[in-house]
Amino acid sequence: MPQGQIVRAVSGFYYVRTAEGEWQCRARGVFKKRKQSPLVGDVVTVEPTEPGQGVVTAIASRSSELVRPPIANVEQAVVVASMREPGVQLELLDRFLVHAEREHLRVIICLTKGDLVEEATEVDKIAAVYDPAGYPVLVTSVHTGQGITELASQLAERLSVFAGQSGVGKSSLLNAILPEAELATGEVSRKLGRGRHTTRQVEILALPEGGQVADTPGFSQLSFQQMEETALGECFPEMSVRASHCKFRGCLHHNEPQCAVQEAVERGEIDAGRYRHYLQFLDEIRQQRRY
Q: Find out whether 104 is annotated in a ligand binding site.
A: no
Count the Cβ atoms, other than its own, within 10 Å of residue 238: 20
Q: Find out whether 166 is annotated in a ligand binding site.
A: yes
Distances (CA, A) of 125 to 93, 191, 218: 15, 27, 25
Q: Find out whether 110 is annotated in a ligand binding site.
A: no
Write the CB contacts of 190 (distance below 8 Å, at least 6 apart in sequence).
Answer: none
Q: Find out whether 112 is annotated in a ligand binding site.
A: yes
Q: Find out whether 117 is annotated in a ligand binding site.
A: no
Q: Find out whether 268 is annotated in a ligand binding site.
A: no
Q: Find out whether 44 is annotated in a ligand binding site.
A: no
Q: Find out whether 82 is annotated in a ligand binding site.
A: no
Q: Find out whether 259 is annotated in a ligand binding site.
A: yes
Q: Find out whether 45 is annotated in a ligand binding site.
A: no
Q: Find out whether 41 is annotated in a ligand binding site.
A: no
Q: Find out whether 63 is annotated in a ligand binding site.
A: no
Q: Find out whether 171 is annotated in a ligand binding site.
A: yes
For the CA atoms of 20, 26, 31, 33, what is the dihedral angle to 10 degrees?
Answer: -160
Side chain identity at 160, as an amino acid letter?
A: S
Omega before 86 cis (within 30°)? yes
159: Cα separation from own chain's centroid: 12
Q: Find out whether 168 is annotated in a ligand binding site.
A: yes
Q: Find out whether 113 is annotated in a ligand binding site.
A: yes
What is d(CA 13, CA 22) in angstroms, rounded to the nearest whole number? Answer: 12
Count the Cβ atoms, other than its own, within 10 Å of residue 277: 20
- For the annotated binding site for GTP, the residues are 112-115, 164-172
What residues form the annotated binding site? 112-115, 164-172, 246, 251, 253, 259
Q: Please enumerate, by residue number, every residue annotated as part of a binding site for Zn(2+).
A: 246, 251, 253, 259
